Amino acid sequence: MENRLIRIATCLVILVPAVAQAGDGKPWDPAMGTASISGTVKFDGKQPRSRGIDMAGADEKCAEMHGGVRQKPESVIVNENGTLRNVFVWIKSGAEGWEFPMPSGDAMLEQVGCMYTPHVQGMRTGQTLAIKTSDPTAHNVHGFGKVNRSFNRSQPPGAADISVRMRRDESQPPMKVKCDIHPWMNAYVAVVPHPYFAVTGAEGSFELPNLSAGTYTIEAWHEKYDMIEQTVTVGDSDAKTVDFTFAKK
């Protein structure tokens, strides 16, 4: 009996530190989030030329979903206002020491018309990535993790979602996801420990709201043009503007 009690006590001693270290820091106080950082990501140069995707060469069903019209690659999209789309912008440093509430649902990656949507996205560390398909053809979803575990799974038409939990930060660079059947299909998923991230869209803009006063390193990442960062200091209720410019290589 005495030996059994000793074993139980030993287990408790081991478990207590593990629970104590589970959090990232003290709980986030929303009342402190009065500042914001916003801006645009510009492109120095003309839209690089790209050929339409020949889907029919790999899968006639993919081409049929687009009426035979060749789709444009999403690797480099320069908007009409000279800004760059699909840039992941996030706070690289300055938000440490807080434990932020987790989103209630999964992050979504959808396969529609043999294209990944969204092409670039961010999600929280510990959140689940749900990969869906509505296509009448099979896909093979292959995630290349450098920090998180890689995965490689088949997803035939009508199959259930593929669920992958991202347990670790992975944003430098984000995880690449591709389809091994359709070589043009690729997407990027950045996994970060806080909610301060955005992806530029048709206007090339981003906003990081609800920040506390402090100094932050903001990083902008693009799949072709790599990373740029700037340091910004904001006070209570400040609204700072930061612009990034990527140049054609």
Lowest mean pLDDT among 8-22, 50-64, 65-79, 85-99: 8-22
The domain that holds 213 is classified in CATH as 2.60.40.420
Q: 115 phi and psi, to 5 degrees? A: -135, 145
If 0-12 CB within 10 Å is exposed, 13-18 middle and 19+ buried, where does residue 101 land?
A: exposed
Question: Which residue is listed with tokens 């944003």?
Answer: 171
Q: 116 phi and psi, to 5 degrees? A: -85, 135
DSSP letters, 118-187, are SSEEEEETTPEEEEEE--SS-EEEEEE-SSSPPEEEEE-TTPPPEEEE--S-EEEEEEEEEESSSTT-EE
pLDDT tier, 204 (very low <50, low <70, confident <90, very high otherwise) = very high
Note whether residue 15 is domain-resident: no
Note whether residue 84 is domain-resident: yes
Total number of domains in the chain: 1
Note whether residue 72 is domain-resident: yes
Containing domain of residue 161, as a range? 23-247
pLDDT digits (tens, 9 = 90+) for 82-107: 999 999 999 999 999 999 999 999 99
pLDDT digits (tens, 9 = 90+) for 108-143: 999 999 999 999 999 999 999 999 999 999 999 999
Note whether residue 81 is domain-resident: yes
The whole-number pLDDT of residue 6 equals 40
Note whether residue 3 is domain-resident: no
Global pTM value: 0.89
Note whether residue 192 is domain-resident: yes
- With a cut of 70, say whether residue 210 has pLDDT above it: yes
Separation between Cα atoms, residue 79 and residue 68, nearest integer Å: 25
Query: In whole numbers, what is the pLDDT of the chain averaged over residues?
Result: 91
Which residues is 115 bridged to in the sheet? 112
* Residue from 143, 154, 157, 130 nearest 65 by CA: 157
